[in-house]
């Protein structure tokens, strides 16, 4: 009987550790240009959400430009299933095709922008 209880305890601990290792990480830049990486969402403020891939040159370039122009943003990796599913539901809601879209995708003021230039993002961010 004790073996069964120990097995169940070890199984529960293992499942808990697996769940914790897949915790969502939020990456965002505050209004002072400070980069934050936390497990909690950033405070509510005017910002853009950048969906992309860490290995994508266009995503890297957009991150750099957002930092350069001091536009607060949150980065969501589309390689994370939860982020990808959320982006796809947002695309459905806003009437966009989910097949073959270019990265990065920017969400700003209720609008999705696909691989935009920085001027477009600035104009949408602060109309």
Q: What are the distances in angstroms from CA 23 to CA 5, 16, 57, 80, 83?
A: 27, 11, 25, 10, 12
- Indicate whether this model's pTM tops 0.85: no
pLDDT per residue over 75-110, tens digit each? 999 999 999 999 999 999 989 998 889 999 999 988
Mean pLDDT for each 10-residue chunk of the chain (127 residues)?
64 59 66 74 74 96 94 93 93 90 93 95 85
Give me the half-sphere count of Cα atoms (radius 13 Å) on the Cβ side of residue 79.
Answer: 7
**CATH number 3.40.30.10 is the correct assignment for the domain at 24-125:** yes
CA proximity to 82, closest of 17, 28, 20, 25: 25
d(CA 4, CA 96): 52
- Alpha helix (H) residue ranges in the chain: 2-21, 57-68, 81-93, 118-125
State residue 126's pLDDT score.
Answer: 80
Q: What is the DSSP code (8-state) at residue 103? A: S
């Amino acid at each position: 009987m004790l073996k069964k209880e120990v097995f169940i305890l070890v199984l529960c601990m293992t499942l808990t550790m697996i769940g914790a290792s897949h915790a969502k990480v939020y990456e965002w830049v505050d209004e002072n240009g400070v980069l934050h990486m936390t497990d909690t969402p950033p405070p509510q403020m005017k910002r853009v959400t950048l969906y992309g891939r860490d290995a994508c040159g266009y995503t890297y370039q957009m991150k750099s430009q957002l930092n350069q122009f001091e536009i607060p943003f949150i980065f969501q990796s589309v390689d994370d299933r939860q982020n990808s599913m959320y982006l796809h539901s947002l695309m459905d809601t806003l009437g966009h095709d989910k097949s073959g879209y270019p990265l990065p995708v920017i969400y700003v003021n209720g609008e999705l922008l696909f691989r935009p230039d920085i001027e477009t993002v600035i104009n949408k961010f602060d109309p």
